[in-house]
Each structure stands twice: as C-alpha cells, then as structure tokens.
Amino acid sequence: MPPTAKTVPRHIAIIMDGNGRWAKTRGLPRIKGHEAGAQAVRECVEGCGDLKVQYLTLYAFSAENWQRPKSEVFALMRLLENFLKEKTPELVEKNVRLQAIGRLTDLPQSSQKQLHKTIEQTAGNNGLTLILALSYGGRLEIIDGIKSLLRAVELGHIDKGMIDVEMFSKHLYTRYYPDPDLLIRTSGEMRLSNFLLWQLSYTEMYVTPKLWPDFTKKDLFAAVEEFGQRQRRYGAVE
Ligand code: FPP
C-alpha cells in the first residue's frame, strides 16, 4: 500500500549504491549485483507510479564509473541496453516517459541508439518522467552550463548582467525538470558522489543502510513517509 502522506515529493533522485557489495556477500560476480539492481529499478519505477511522483532521476552511471574494469563497464552498458529494449513496452503501458542526462555521446553507439529509441517511443507519455543519469558528473554539468552561457553571451542572446540562478539553471542538463525534493541514497554512505550538485541545494536527504538490490517498494514508501514529516524552510525562518 502506498503511504497516505499528504506531501508526496514531486521529484525523487536516487543514488543506487551497493550492487557490488550485494554480490560479494553472496559470492557472486559484481555484474550479478547490477542485474539484481536492475530489478530494483523496475520495482522503484512502479512504486513512483503508485505514488504519483512526477519525476524520478536515477544515478545509473557516473562520469567516474568509466574508470572501472573494462569488463564491468561493458557488462553495465549491455545491461542498460537490454533493460531498455526489454522494458520499453512496459514503460509505454505504464505511461512512463524516459529521459536522460549526462554526456550521452560518451556511451557506446549501440547504447545511445537504444536509449534514443526508448526516449522516442515514450515521448508521448505523460505519467512519471524517468530520468537516467548516464556518464553524468555534477561538476562536468556545471562546466558545460558555463560554456553554454558563455556561448549565449557571445552570440548576443543574453547580456552577462542578466545571469542569475534561474538563468543558469536553464543552461544545465536538467533545465526541463524541477529540482529534486527528496534524495535517497542506499548502502549507508553519506556522500553526494558528484550527483546533481547544483540541483540538490535544498533537497531533503534520506540515507538507508539497505543495499540497492534489496531496496523494495516498501522502502521507497518509508522514505516518502519520512519526507512527509520534514519541514522545509529553504533557509528562512518559520
Ligand atoms: C553502484 O553500485 C551502482 C552502479 C555504479 C550502477 C547502477 C546500475 C544499476 C542499478 C543497474 C542498471 C541500471 C538501469 C537503469 C537498468 P556499486 O557497484 O558501486 O556497489 P558497491 O559500492 O557495493 O561496489
């Protein structure tokens, strides 16, 4: 049962951590942890649908993850591709719209192709927007945002005196989405790991010791319940 919380976050962002540890404790190769993680993604998307959350951003592959062994990177890309291929009909049926942020051109051609195919096939959906962060780094995004702003100034589209928080936000990968209301991180680590550095300024954080493959709908609902108890003041007094 979804929680009866009065306040459901409009946008949830998740750092899905602990796939490797999940596999290790079972004596399995790391990729088995990622495969189990993909199942948890499916359940989480369904849970967000039940809750009528509007946006869900998942940190699926960071800019730093390219430093992992080639075999793990390859397996993760193949998993992503297969997941998208296999789940597109379900995303369409559940009215989920897929989007992606990050340096997407870094991805292998076949992954880019499948990603854009699923984005196109789900473009008409108006339920949950599922945003995958792929080859994503918060600092890189800010640098790309600055470059984009400089270009706009050079072209005379804007005057540099007009630059403010709102305008800068419009030059980030996330320009089409509101900032996350709730950030969930699994596996107990208290770090942002270069995720949505600009956008998380006033986001409520929820850290659970559960490893990502063990994260269920029930855990999602518990996080949303707790979010409902928080008082957000955005730096002001009550
Ligand atoms: C972190 O766990 C997880 C990742 C780097 C990849 C996340 C990928 C998935 C959940 C599966 C595929 C995703 C989609 C969208 C189909 P870790 O490997 O850092 O775990 P560890 O810290 O225990 O080693």
The residue with greater pLDDT, 81 or 234, is 81
Residue pLDDT, tens place only, 144-195: 999 999 999 999 999 999 999 999 999 999 999 999 999 999 999 999 999 9
Ligand 1 pocket, residue 81 CB under 6 Å: no
Rounded distance between C-alpha atoms, residue 165 and residue 169, angstroms: 6
Integer CA distances (angstroms), 145 to 120, 128, 134, 137, 170, in order: 25, 26, 17, 12, 8
pLDDT in the model for residue 3: 61
Q: Is the distance from CB of 54 to CB of 128 less than 8 angstroms?
A: yes
Residue 214 CB neighbours (<10 A):
16
Amino acid at 115: L
* CATH class of domain segment(s) 11-136+179-227: alpha beta
Rounded distance between C-alpha atoms, residue 107 and residue 74, angstroms: 10
Sequence spans of domains, the chain: 11-136+179-227
pLDDT in the model for residue 118: 98
Lowest mean pLDDT among 25-39, 67-81, 221-235: 221-235
Choose which residue among 212, 214, 215 to substitute to test ligand 1 binding: the one with the highest number of ligand atoms within 8 A of its C-beta. 212
Is 82 one of the catalytic residues?
A: no
Amino acid at 180: P
pLDDT in the model for residue 120: 98
What's the CA angle centered on 109, arms 147 and 20, to 5 degrees? 90
Q: Which of 158, 156, 140 is nearest to 198 (CA)?
A: 140
| pLDDT band for position 233 (cuts 50, 70, 90) | confident
